[in-house]
């Protein structure tokens, strides 16, 4: 099946989910629709040893299309969780409950929903030029795909509140110190390291 924003494939028993809308790999309605379809049709089959989440282009993901997201909220002002966002949560829930190791390979910017997607992984490997942020509060929003909970488990309540409420960007070095990522590697070494992790589990 030809998709616009994502590629799913299996090679040598390892599954690859590739964000394929460079350069920023922005997460719009097409992205989330394809992610949900892939989660239900391919990822839940678990006919593979582990899953690698990676991206084409310079960046992992700039996160959600904020303009589109604000429009969704405007159309459903009385809904605590708009229908489309609830579907997005369903896709992330499938990843969070997957009984296979997931490794996210991060390069460039990893913001917002993109960061929350990376937080679904069991291991996060980053290139030296990687940057992380949950910038939703700068737009009057809050992270809504499980990122707050995942960060709380890693860095505690105080640091999570600081990262979320200030919308600050942190480098790969700081993310490593905080335990948000597991290692920093040259970009060309990320995939081989991810394969090693999956094959050793």
Note down pLDDT in tens along the chain; length 201 residues: 689 999 999 999 999 999 999 999 999 989 999 999 999 999 998 799 999 999 999 999 999 888 887 776 676 655 555 566 677 888 999 999 999 999 999 999 999 999 999 999 999 999 999 999 999 988 888 888 899 999 999 999 999 999 999 999 999 999 999 999 999 999 999 999 999 999 998
Residue partners of 201: CB distance under 8 A and separation at least 6: 49, 50, 101
Residue partners of 99: CB distance under 8 A and separation at least 6: 46
At residue 74, the pLDDT reads 74
At residue 67, the pLDDT reads 81
At residue 82, the pLDDT reads 56
Kindly list the distances between the CA atom of residue 74 and the CA atoms of 3, 51, 70, 89, 91, in Å, as whole numbers in the listed order.
28, 35, 6, 19, 23
Question: What does DSSP assign to residue 182?
Answer: S
Class of the CATH-defined domain 6-200: alpha beta
At residue 170, the pLDDT reads 97
pTM for the whole thing?
Answer: 0.93
At residue 186, the pLDDT reads 97
């Amino acid at each position: 099946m030809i998709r616009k924003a994502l590629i799913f494939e299996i090679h040598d028993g390892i599954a690859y989910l590739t964000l394929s809308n460079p350069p920023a790999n922005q997460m719009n309605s097409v992205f989330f629709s394809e992610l949900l379809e892939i989660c239900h049709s391919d990822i839940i089959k678990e006919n593979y040893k582990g899953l690698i989440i990676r991206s084409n282009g310079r960046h992992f993901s700039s996160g959600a299309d904020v303009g589109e997201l604000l429009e969704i909220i405007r159309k459903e002002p009385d809904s605590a969780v708009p229908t489309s966002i609830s579907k997005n949560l369903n896709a992330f829930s499938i990843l969070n409950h997957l009984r296979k190791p997931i490794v996210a390979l991060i390069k460039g910017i990893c913001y917002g929903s993109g960061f929350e997607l990376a937080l679904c992984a069991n291991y996060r490997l980053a290139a030296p030029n990687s940057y992380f942020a949950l910038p939703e509060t700068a737009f009057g929003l809050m992270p809504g795909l499980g990122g707050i909970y995942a960060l709380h488990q890693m860095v505690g309540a105080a640091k999570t509140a600081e990262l979320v409420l200030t919308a600050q960007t942190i480098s790969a070095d700081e993310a490593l110190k905080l335990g948000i990522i597991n290692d920093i590697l040259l970009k060309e070494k990320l995939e081989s390291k991810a394969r090693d992790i999956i094959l050793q589990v």
